[in-house]
């Protein structure tokens, strides 16, 4: 959600190293896909085809092995992967779970902690997308906001749709966006935001344990008239400091994780609800090389596994070895290695 708001101070730091244990035995990449548990695959697939010009990347498949990996083998499920045409990253795995289940971040505010808040998607015409999504019933804390941070001028809108699926839609105005040849209606997803109540604890996990490198960090409140995309009243937006840190195993903004903390704001915490088969943005999936070394590394840092190791036939990758880990704010991270 590279959001921020008129007048914030920030720094960029780009690195090209990978996380590794003491033996240098593993490496991580940015997340390849976000797993979204839904009540209806067809409704979401139709939406992404008609509004985002995305395509189905895999055929519909039974997801019983995946549900067993999550520890809920008694819930029937099926899955499909959808993606921006021409891209291999920033995909969404839709997992339709049978029965009635609550949303992970049910009726949440943007400052509520726990789980995954949103995923970032670029658009070229915010006015058109805003109109399309409004007609389809998507809601938000406010209308799109145009603002400047550093050298960038953007319009951003954070909107929530069925099953709690939430986007931070971003249109870049200046400088001209380059390197996105497949940006038509929706781009691939490229960043995912988590709202945390203890930024230092989350930083320690991502930076010190997983070895993420900083892409961007900034801290500050809104300036000017207090306009913001976070649903804060304008006067409070000029007072409430927001701390943001974006990191990635190689320090880039492609499959990155954004940590967002509000100073002096106490909301609800959805950490305990961020589990399957609850509906919403459930997990980020990261490719890893050297799974055994990575597991040893996690054990050395007293990070328990929430699932696995397990073998899954995970299309479109093939057979993978996969584990799950809980981030400090309750977000589910999964790491897979192609067999």
Residue pLDDT, tens place only, 36-78:
999 999 999 999 999 999 999 999 999 999 999 999 999 999 9
For residues 81 and 112, state if they share a domain. no
The structure's pTM equals 0.93
Domain boundary among the residues 262, 294, 310 is at 262
For residues 155 and 255, state if they share a domain. yes
- The list of the chain residues with pLDDT below 50 reads 2-22
DSSP string for 52-77: H-EEE-S--EE-HHHHHHTT-TTS-E
At 22 the pLDDT is 45
For residues 252 and 191, state if they share a domain. yes
Number of domains in the chain: 2
For residues 183 and 131, state if they share a domain. yes
Phi and psi of 242, rounded to 5°? -115, 130
At 16 the pLDDT is 34
In a domain, 168, yes or no: yes
At 2 the pLDDT is 43
In a domain, 226, yes or no: yes
User: 319 lies in which domain range?
Assistant: 28-100+278-338
In a domain, 160, yes or no: yes
Q: What is the CATH number of the domain that holds 332?
A: 3.10.180.10
At 262 the pLDDT is 97
Phi and psi of 243, rounded to 5°? -105, 130
For residues 170 and 302, state if they share a domain. no
Domain boundary among the residues 262, 290, 321 is at 262
Residue 247 structure tokens: 């990191």
At 150 the pLDDT is 67
At 152 the pLDDT is 82
> What is d(CA 293, CA 13) in angstroms, rounded to the nearest whole number?
27
In a domain, 48, yes or no: yes
b or e along 8-19 (b: 16 or more beta carbons within 10 Å of the residue's beta carbon)? beeeeeebeebb
Domain boundary among the residues 223, 238, 262 is at 262
At 15 the pLDDT is 35
For residues 113 and 254, state if they share a domain. yes
At 151 the pLDDT is 77
Phi and psi of 122, rounded to 5°? -85, 145
């Amino acid at each position: 959600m590279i959001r921020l708001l008129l007048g914030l101070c920030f720094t960029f730091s780009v690195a090209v190293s990978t996380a590794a244990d003491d033996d240098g035995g593993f490496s991580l990449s940015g997340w390849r896909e976000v797993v979204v548990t839904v009540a209806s695959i067809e409704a979401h697939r139709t939406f992404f085809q008609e509004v985002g010009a995305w395509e189905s990347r895999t055929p519909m498949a039974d997801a019983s092995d995946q549900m067993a990996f999550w520890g809920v083998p008694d819930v029937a499920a099926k899955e499909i992967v959808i993606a921006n045409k021409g891209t291999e990253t920033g995909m969404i795995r839709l997992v339709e779970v049978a029965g009635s289940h609550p949303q992970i971040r049910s009726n949440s505010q943007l400052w509520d902690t726990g789980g995954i808040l949103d995923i970032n998607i670029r658009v070229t015409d915010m006015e058109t997308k805003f109109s399309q999504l409004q007609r389809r019933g998507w809601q938000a804390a406010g209308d799109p906001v145009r603002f400047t941070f550093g050298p960038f001028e953007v319009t951003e809108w954070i909107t929530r749709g069925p099953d709690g699926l939430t986007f931070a839609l971003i249109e870049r105005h200046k400088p001209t966006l380059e390197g996105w040849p497949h940006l038509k209606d929706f781009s691939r997803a490229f960043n995912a935001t988590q709202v945390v109540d203890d930024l230092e604890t989350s930083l320690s996990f991502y930076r010190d344990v997983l070895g993420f490198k900083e892409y961007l960090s900034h801290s500050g409140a809104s300036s000017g008239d207090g306009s913001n995309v976070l649903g804060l009243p304008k006067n409070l937006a000029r007072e409430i400091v927001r701390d943001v840190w974006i990191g990635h195993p190689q320090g880039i903004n492609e499959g990155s994780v954004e940590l967002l903390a509000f100073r002096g704001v106490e909301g609800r915490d959805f950490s305990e609800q961020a589990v399957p088969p609850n509906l919403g943005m459930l997990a980020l999936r990261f490719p890893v090389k050297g799974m055994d070394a990575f597991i040893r590394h996690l054990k050395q840092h007293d990070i328990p596994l929430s699932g696995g190791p397990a073998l899954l036939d995970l299309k479109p990758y093939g057979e993978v070895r996969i584990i799950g880990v809980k981030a400090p704010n309750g977000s589910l991270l999964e790491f897979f290695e192609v067999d």
